[in-house]
Amino acid sequence: MAPPEGAPATPSAFYKMLSVPDAQELILSETQALPPVEVPFQQALQHTLAAEVRAAEAVPGFRASIKDGYAVVSSDGPGEYEVAFEAFAGIEDSEFLGAAPGGTRRVRINKAVPPGCDVRQVGSDMAAGEVVLSAGHHIGAAEVGILATVGATKVTVHRKPHVAVLSTGDEVCEPAAPELQPGQIRDANRAMLLAAAAGTGARATDLGIARDTAANVEAALDRAVAEGADILITTGGVSMGDKDFIKPLLERRGTVHFGKVKMKPGKPLTFAKVPVPEQGRSLLVFGLPGNPVSSLVTFHLAVVPCLRKMEGWQEPRLRRLHVRTAMPIKMDPERPEYHRAVAHWARPAGAEPGVCCGELVAASTGGQISSRLLSLRSANVLLEIPQASRASGVLPAGTMVSALVLGDLGAMPVPEVPAPTVLP
């Protein structure tokens, strides 16, 4: 039987399976920071500086009082003085004596002020020429205030990446489809990945759904190139089925760096680079699995570090911390697993609401099958569960494991009941 249109010359089964760390290092080695652009400082929020910012002038630029009170000539010493300008009673070491009929007010200074006391010297906050923000610094609200303080009205930052997202498959329908036919599914992946990309600050472009022909998939790739995308994310079409056209296309148009990763979920994860010589650049392509959980987990593990490096982050990898498991977790016999969980600070019995202390405890989100998107609901960490060994196939409750942070730790839930008892 003749091979299907676009079938790979080398079956996907023969791709070397990489470990997750090796796959991540390969991705980062093929990723470059995007060219710098100059933007008004008000638009620099959530960007990464490509060049340092120095204070053009001293802050403060004059000797400034740090307290409210009475300004006097220190050499005059204690005594009674007429208030030439508005003043208020109640200041330490002074006494309001009253107001004359003509409106003149008098105060008594009971103690001399040491020379230079309670004064901010010139440049005491920021010296002229001081580096106030270094290249690679991520801009938040405080940094915008610093830029305003030093008059840096324009700053040089790395441009935000442009990400195009494509779904593939004849079975995939728009979410608004009024009624599904047998075998059809609503396209959760594309909506989810567009939201995930936008959540990183990237510009996200929706390429829609490519039906199962090699021509449709290639047309979508060409559109991503034409629209100037830095990254193309596809979902589905990267396994070994007759209608999985992604890998053959990428093999023909560029270099497939890997096509399998030893992980659960997400084994078919594919990463490739497609040259765009007419634009003097390359397009990075991530072929994510079609199951929704696999799709979002691999986005976090593979795409997010790539986006961060493009943005100029000095350390683009996901942040890792250690947590105790709140329940036993079964280990997979073939691959390490990225188990979805909700981490929270343990709260001792009797503690007031919002008061947490001690260590982090992680509770599984339940069934971890890669089609069950509910396993990612509220998940803020991926537990790095090792492959099962001959000696043990279950991690007992209370085991300390490493976890990759997915969200904002400041939004970590506070348990309403005392944390479960865990093993020491």
Beta bridge partners of 403: 321, 383
Distance CA 212, CA 174 (A): 15
101-110, 198-207, 341-350 — most confident range: 198-207
Banded model confidence at residue 89, pLDDT cuts 50, 70, 90? very low
Higher-confidence residue of 139 and 354: namely: 139
Smallest CA-to-CA distance from 190 within 220, 165, 172 is with 165
Average pLDDT over residues 317-339: 96
pLDDT of residue 346: 81
Higher-confidence residue of 183 and 101: namely: 183
> What are the backbone dihedrals phi and psi of residue 406, each rounded to the nearest 5 degrees, phi first?
-100, -35
Name the least confident of 73-82, 119-128, 312-321, 357-366: 73-82
Residue 3, pLDDT > 90, answer: no
pLDDT of residue 415: 61
Name the least confident of 22-26, 71-75, 208-212, 253-257: 71-75
pLDDT of residue 73: 73
Do strands 154-158 and 36-40 pair parallel, antiparallel, or not at all (unpaired)? antiparallel
C-beta of residue 329 within 8 angstroms of C-beta of residue 414: no
Q: Which fold has domain 13-34+160-176+184-311?
A: Molybdenum Cofactor Biosythetic Enzyme; Chain A (3.40.980)
Banded model confidence at residue 6, pLDDT cuts 50, 70, 90? very low
Q: How high does pLDDT run on average in the chain? A: 87
Banded model confidence at residue 328, pLDDT cuts 50, 70, 90? very high
Banded model confidence at residue 424, pLDDT cuts 50, 70, 90? very low
Name the least confident of 128-132, 179-183, 198-202, 266-270: 179-183
pLDDT single digits (tens) 30-42: 999 999 999 999 9
Going from N- to C-terminal start, the domains of the chain cover 13-34+160-176+184-311, 38-58+126-158, 320-405
Distances from the Cα of 285 to the Cα of 209, 242, 275, 302, 325, angstroms: 16, 21, 11, 11, 35
- Cis-peptide into 328, omega within 30 deg: no
Average pLDDT over residues 60-71: 75
Q: Is 47 exposed, middle or buried (0-12, 13-18, 19+ CB in 10 A)?
A: buried
pLDDT of residue 423: 35
Q: pLDDT over 90 for what percent of the chain?
A: 70
Residue type, 284: L
Average pLDDT over residues 324-350: 91
C-beta of residue 330 within 8 angstroms of C-beta of residue 393: yes
Average pLDDT over residues 195-206: 97
For the record, the structure tokens of 363 come out as: 């509770």
pLDDT of residue 324: 96
Determine the distance from the C-alpha atom of residue 14 to the mean position of all C-alpha atoms in its chain, rounded to a whole number.
34
Domain 320-405 has CATH 2.40.50.140: no
pLDDT of residue 8: 43
348 torsion bin: left (phi>0), alpha (psi -120 to 50), beta (else)? beta
Smallest CA-to-CA distance from 15 within 250, 327, 321, 305 is with 250
Residue 108, pLDDT > 90, answer: no
Higher-confidence residue of 166 and 84: namely: 166
pLDDT single digits (tens) 217-252: 999 999 999 999 999 999 998 776 656 789 999 999
Instruction: Name the pTM for this structure.
Output: 0.84
Determine the distance from the C-alpha atom of residue 332 to the mean position of all C-alpha atoms in its chain, rounded to a whole number.
29
Q: Is 373 exposed, middle or buried (0-12, 13-18, 19+ CB in 10 A)?
A: middle
pLDDT of residue 62: 85
Average pLDDT over residues 114-136: 88
Distance CA 170, CA 363 (A): 37
Helix, strand, or coil (residue 27): helix
Residue 237 neighbours by CB distance under 10 Å: 26
pLDDT single digits (tens) 357-375: 678 999 999 999 999 999 9
pLDDT of residue 295: 98
388: Cβ contacts below 8 Å, ≥ 6 apart:
330, 331, 332, 333
pLDDT of residue 103: 56
pLDDT of residue 418: 46
Residue 11, pLDDT > 60, answer: no
DSSP line for 270-336: EEEEEEEGGGTEEEEEEEE-SSHHHHHHHIIIIIHHHHHHHTT-SS-SPPEEEEEESS-EEPPSSS-
DSSP line for 117-178: TTEEPTTSSB-TT-EEE-TTPBP-HHHHHHHHHTT--EEEEEPPPEEEEEEE-TTEE-TT-S
Average pLDDT over residues 273-294: 97
216: Cβ contacts below 8 Å, ≥ 6 apart:
210
Class of domain 38-58+126-158: alpha beta
Helix, strand, or coil (residue 267): coil
Helix, strand, or coil (residue 54): strand
